[in-house]
Amino acid sequence: MAVAAVALVIGSASAWYFLLRDVAISVNGEQVVARVNAPLAEVLEEHDYFGAVPGRLLSVGGNVLEERGGEPCAVSRQGEQLAPEQVEGARIQEGDVFTVADGTDTEEASTEETQEIAPGIHRETGGAIQFVSQWGKAGSKRVKTGEVSGETAEEVLEEPQDMVVSSVNPRPSSGKYVALTFDDGPSSYTPQILEILKEKGVRATFFNLGSQAQSNPSGSRAIVEAGQELASHTMAHRNLPTVDRDTLRSEISTAADALSEASGTHPQMIRAPYGAFGDTEWARSGDLLSCNVLWNVDTCDWERPGADAIRAAAVNSAFNGAIILMHDGGGNREQTVAALPGIIDDLRAKGYEFVTVSELMSMDDRIPEDVANGTVSMPEEAVLPSV
């Protein structure tokens, strides 16, 4: 019994020493008495955080939600800064030296998700041949949504890579070359034009409408069989900037299918009606074509100014690398047919040779081979801009 009593006394004394006795600690240079092994957080609260001003609670967007809703104070122990979770777990030891300063601002709790950033588009202008020289790649961002405020904040993790559309006027390095082009066919005038080209030994490029190819498949087929180049003028000659995304893509893809069915050739090269093919059109359908071909010389034959005027417009404005615009459909093209032999003779007399648009592109090393060949394929990792 006596031994047990002694043990109890010793145990009580030990508990008092380790758990109940008061010890002196230093807080901001002042001596403070606290119970040994007491939670530091309780001591701070009991002393009203020793006059420290609490931080603010901020939204994810940096707005103040509560003036005193942040960390109540900042604490250093023996000169070592304690994180908030360390303060919660710390207990008082004899001889502790604390510095208690104003609390820090705290951001509200939030949820996070990673989102894709679509690429933008940069399009050059001024050239007759337009093509994608750099495909777009998606970036990413972290989006935080505040649980209190409902605000969102974004952090870019990876910048997107913009799509770049180059615009080039072909510049053959040697010789003098021009490309004759004909829009809106095939029509009843197409066989006459093909015959003149055959007689003169000239190659040209025909931008056929898909709707015309469907109603006159033999006309498109005759172009290919004659050794001429067949390209697309879209399905129904719509003003592409005025249509929605699905219609735009259909105008290009259904025309290619119609031309393929009629001729066995599936062209990637297009000429947008009215030459209208801007940032939005490239962003929505750049994966469907190799290039959009405009022109440098407009004969205005669609105005029917007379065969001589058409001839003069083509000949007088020609230069090395020029793409000359004429029409073999879309109306009465008798004047174009009448002007064509003289255009060919006059340009030959000036030293020009006649090539297709693809051949003209292949003479300029700024234009990629797959663009000139019509074998462009958008890389798997690439994405189109979102518009």
Q: Just list the catalytic residues.
A: 183, 327
Q: What are phi and psi of 186, to 5 degrees?
A: -80, 155
Q: CA 2, CA 31: separation in Å to the nearest integer?
A: 42
- Between the two ends of the chain, the Cα-to-Cα distance in Å is 91
DSSP string, 163-225: EEEEEE----SSS-EEEEEEES--STTHHHHHHHHHHHT---EEEE-HHHHHH-HHHHHHHHH
Cα separation values, 193 from 175, 210, 263, 360, Å: 26, 19, 18, 21
Would strands 353-354 and 177-183 be described as parallel, antiparallel, or unpaired? Answer: parallel
The answer for residues whose C-beta is within 8 angstroms of residue 254's C-beta and 6 or more apart is 210, 235
The answer for residues whose C-beta is within 8 angstroms of residue 301's C-beta and 6 or more apart is 310, 326, 327, 333, 335, 336, 339
Amino acid letter at 205? T
Q: What's the token pair of residue 124?
A: 């050059």
Q: CA 44, CA 39: separation in Å to the nearest integer?
A: 9
Contact 234, 273 (CB under 8 A): yes
Cα separation values, 48 from 10, 69, 73, 201, 335, Å: 36, 15, 10, 99, 98
